[in-house]
Structure formats: C-alpha cells, structure tokens
Amino acid sequence: MTAVAVQEPGTLAVFTRAAAAEWLRLRTVRTTWWCLLAAAVTIVGLGVIAAADDAQGPVGPGNPLPSTFAGEYGVMLGQFALLVLALLAVTQEYATGAIGPTLQWTPRRGVLLAARVAVPAVVATVVGVSLALIADVLALLVDPDLTLSLADAADSLARIAAVLVAGSVLAVGLGFFLRSTAGALATVFLLQLVLPFLLPAFGVQWMADLGELLPGSGAIWTLLREPEMTATQATALLVGWSGVALAAGGWSLLRRDAG
Amino acid sequence: MIQVRGLTKQYAAVCAVDDLTFDVLPGKVTGFLGPNGAGKSTTMRMILGLDKPTAGSALVGGRPFARLGEPLRAAGALLDAQAVHPGRSGRDHLRVAARTHGIPVRRVDEVIDQVGLGPAARRRVRGYSLGMRQRLGIATALLGDPAALLFDEPMNGLDLDGVRWIRRLVRELADDGRTVLLSSHLMSEMEQTADHLVIIGRGRLIADASIQEVMRGEGAARKVRVRTPSTDQLAGALLRMRLRVHPTDDGELLVEGASAETVGDVALEAGVAVHRLAEEHTSLEQVYLDLTGDSVQYKVSGTPELVRR
C-alpha cells in the first residue's frame, strides 16, 4: 500500500455529507415512518374534525373564518409525533450504542451536532407544515363557509413552522443532554404539553404563572393565541428554551465521552 | 501508524489507563493483550477520539482522529459489534457510513462480499448472529480502505472458521502495509496471529516487544528437562555451573536458564548417562500469565475445590 496524501475536505463538505447521512439514517429505520404516519393521521384528522365541528355550529355571515385553525389544532397535538421522530434520531443511538460508530464516521462533534439538529428539524418542519396545509384545504371541503386566503395561509404556516423548529431543536437538545429515550421523552412531553395545560388548571396563581414560562405555552400561544401573552414573550419562550436545550445538548456531545 | 503518548484515563475512583506510551507500526499485526478490565477498550476508544483522555494523546497517521474530516480513510475500527441500530439492515448501516465520506454504494457491496455477509446484508441487523455482526463491523472498518485498523476482541463469539478467517484477513491487511491493532485477552489467539505484542495490565504497559522477544523475555527463561540414573551427581554438576535445578515428581531434573546443549555438555563432563533430554517449550500463554500475574483486575482467589466422590 502506498502512502497517499489525503486531501482533507473542508468543513462545509464534511457537514453536507454528515447531513446526507443523517437523512439516510432517518429514512432507513421504520420508527421514522411510524412517526410520520402518526403525524399525518393526527394533524389532518384533528384538523378535519375541528372543521366539521365548526360546520355544525352557527353560521356567522359577514365574518368568514379562515380554515387555518384546522392545521393549527392538528399541529397542536400532532407535533408530538414529529418531536418524537427528532428525539429518537438522537436517543436511539445512545440506547443501541450506535453513537460509537457514528462518531467514528463523523468524529468532528460540532459538525455532527449541526447535522443532527438541522436534518430532523427540517424534516419535522417541512412535514408538519405540509400536513397542516392539507388539513386547511380539507377543512374548506368539509365546511364551505370557511375561507383560505394566501395571506392567512402564509401567516398560519409560518407560525406552525416556528413552533416545529423550536420544538424539534428542544427535543434534539434534550436528547443529547439526557441521552435516555424515556427521560428525554418525558421531559419534552412535560415541558411542551402536560405542564402548560395542567398548571393553570389548578386555579392557583403562581402555578399558572409558572406554566406561562414553559416552552409549551409559547407554542400554544403561537398556534392558538392563548394564553394571554405578547408576541415577544412567546418568541422569547420558543427561542430561549430551544437555545438552552441546544446548549446543554451540545455541551454533552462535545465535552463528555461518547457514551 | 498509531502513536500513543502518555495516554491516561482517570475515572472517579479508578485509573483505567495509566500513562501508556507505545507505537503501532504499519506492516505488522500488533496484538494488544491484557486481561479483561486491563484498559484495552478504553485505550482504543481514546485513540478513536470517543473518550477523552485525562492526560496524554494519541495520533492516527500523525493526526488526532477526532479532527479528521475523512476518518474512515485513516482508521477503520470494530470496537463493539453489538453497537448497531437493530432496525436498520446491514447494507443500510454501511450506506450511512459511506455517505459520511462520499464513498460510492459500489464500495458498500464490495465490502459486503469481502466479509461474506451476502444476502443477509439486506436483512435487519436485529436478526443477526454475533458472528454476522462481527462481519458487519469488519465490513464497516474496511469501507474507507483505511491505513490503520483497530479490532477489539474480534474473535469473540466466532466459530473456528470465523477465527481462521479473521487471522487470514489481518495477515493480509498487514501484508498490504497497513497498521493493524488487534486486542485480545487470550494469549493463545495472539500466538498464532500477531507479530508484535503490546501487553498491558491494570492500565499500565507491561511489555512492548515482538512475539519472539516476549517468548524469550523475563520470566520466560528456557527450561530443560533431563532424565538420568545419577540424579544427585548431575544436579551437583549443574549447581556448580550456577544453574537452577529442581527435581521433578517423576525423578527427572528441571534446569532453568540453560539450553539442551549446555546440560548435555555438563552431563558428558560429569560422566553421567543421560536417558532423556528435552527443552521445555514455554507457551506464550504461560509467559503472559507470568507477566500479568500481579495485575489481573479480577483475580479468582484460590483454586476451586475438587469435587470429592
């Protein structure tokens, strides 16, 4: 064997390959497809049911309602199938030990982090937005009183995209930080869904206040304009929580042993 | 070429690897030998940048592995054959690895053929036997046509055919001029496979030498077994030559640190008849046990009692 001077690829090339590998990783396990199926059923199904429910209510002439609430209700719950997809992309590797080979193929951990955050986030967002759009269109068919203008659709889908990007970054970050599927899954559910709904339900002020500091409250407001808060607050919650989770996960991946 | 310099891994209470320094040279099969828990796997993980050393460094082809953009061309490794996502097919596992390096799928099918995974490659890893997983791991290690290969206990769980196959493979890889580091806790495996040995115990370097040197090395002095009708006379003559002589249970003498020639000559001078003269072959296993005797992490205290009838 002759010694060959190895031409080192640049960081961008290494990232592009790592991202392509992440995409192939997602496609080659069944879990991904089950998650996507669950997301499709939930988002489109809930959206259509919400529209059907609305169609039975009193018709409000002169005040046409945009059908975008269908996709928003659908994503409110259906996002979890997509967050599970993003989370499992990280934690399953720790559960099976596959993180070892992964880090032998992409030992530059910053590059791996970037690829492993970007690919699931893009997949979850593109899929979620597409499904929400389908739900909006189907809602029009279910309830002809609804409208769907381009501006309404763009506004709604942008908000859905923001929620899904923030949510999947949160899920990936927590996955890297906690490394355990059960632990990370429980944390995401608590922060994103259970506590934001549960805490205000006790009717105790400080609990309700605490609930409004959770990332799920930011997501709910961004989707449904509840509870009472400003756009700045909601954005701060989404960006802040996903930023903190990403920092914690990044620290865990970059500083700790492979695991 | 793999260079390990002062490599140390300190966990909370245990020093798993303690100031290891050695080189693994190309063109040879280097056996990395030590009892279970000696720190072999931890050392390999640090060489591959998976675990961070507390102190010291390791270079693969002159560079730290963790900074390489195309690491699979520098070193391929099989550390833990079980560490594969069970829901992915073997071929998909390889395709993912290939994609991280822009390696064409053609090469994936090549290594699948090379390790004899065949049609099983399209099945999910969940259903693989340990032997098939080992083959998949080796296929992954070979994928990037690397200059160095690290195999951690690759023969574990393999049948005899598998073991022979690995021996042949590592020999070919070394003959190609590649650097091959092969760990094992079994001296007998190394005896037939390795050219050079790096022996560790409790994280510390015990020996770094060629197989021949280890065989001749400390505690491995040659022994000669001699049978004579005049035991006392010969023993006396040998003791005068400052040789260590032990009587054996069957009335022979065991002479340490001497060759058969020496003992024969001494007997001739002493005018003693010799009925049998044989050099004792010290197996590498025995040398290894002697070398690592004090450094076995989990030593069985005492020998198990014999079952009485």
- Over residues B60-73, the mean pLDDT reads 95
SS (H, E, C) B145-187: CCCEEEEECCCCCCCHHHHHHHHHHHHHHHHCCCEEEEEECCH
Where b means 16+ CB within 10 Å and e means fewer, B140-173 reads: bbbbbbbbbbbbbbbbeebeeebbebbbebbeeb
Flag whether pLDDT at B281 surpasses 90. Answer: no
Per-residue confidence band for B307, with pLDDT thresholds at 50, 70 and 90:
very low
- Over residues A113-134, the mean pLDDT reads 97
Picking from B70, B99, B177, the nearest residue to A9 by CB comes out as B70
Cα–Cα distance, B172 to A203 (Å, whole number): 74
Q: What's the pLDDT at B188?
A: 80
Give the pLDDT confidence of A187-244 residue by residue, as tens digits.
999 999 999 999 988 889 999 999 999 999 999 999 998 778 899 999 999 999 999 9
Give the pLDDT confidence of B125-179 residue by residue, as tens digits.
999 999 999 999 999 999 999 999 999 999 887 888 889 999 999 999 999 999 9
| Nearest chain B residue (CA) to A13 | B69
Q: What's the pLDDT at A182?
A: 96
Cα–Cα distance, B194 to B198 (Å, whole number): 10
Q: Are the beta carbons of B83 and A100 separated by less than 8 Å?
A: yes
Q: In chain B, what are the domains?
A: 2-209 (3.40.50.300), 223-281 (3.30.70.100)
Share of chain B above pLDDT 90, in %: 63
Give the pLDDT confidence of B21-62 residue by residue, as tens digits.
999 999 999 999 998 889 999 999 999 999 999 999 999 999
pTM: predicted TM-score of the whole model, two decimal places: 0.84
Cα–Cα distance, A23 to A79 (Å, whole number): 19
ipTM here: 0.91
Give the pLDDT confidence of A5-42 residue by residue, as tens digits.
557 899 999 999 999 999 999 999 999 999 999 999 99
| Nearest chain A residue (CA) to B101 | A17
Q: What's the pLDDT at A1?
A: 47
Q: Which of residues 96-115 of B touch A (CB under 8 A)?
A: 96-97, 99-102
Tell me, rounded to whole angstroms, the distance of Cα B277 from its chain centroid: 33
Q: What's the pLDDT at B284?
A: 65
Picking from B92, B100, B177, the nearest residue to A106 by CB comes out as B100
- Over residues A158-166, the mean pLDDT reads 97
CA distances from A252 to A105, A175, A249, B12 (A): 19, 10, 5, 18
CB-hemisphere CA count at 13 Å for A103? 28
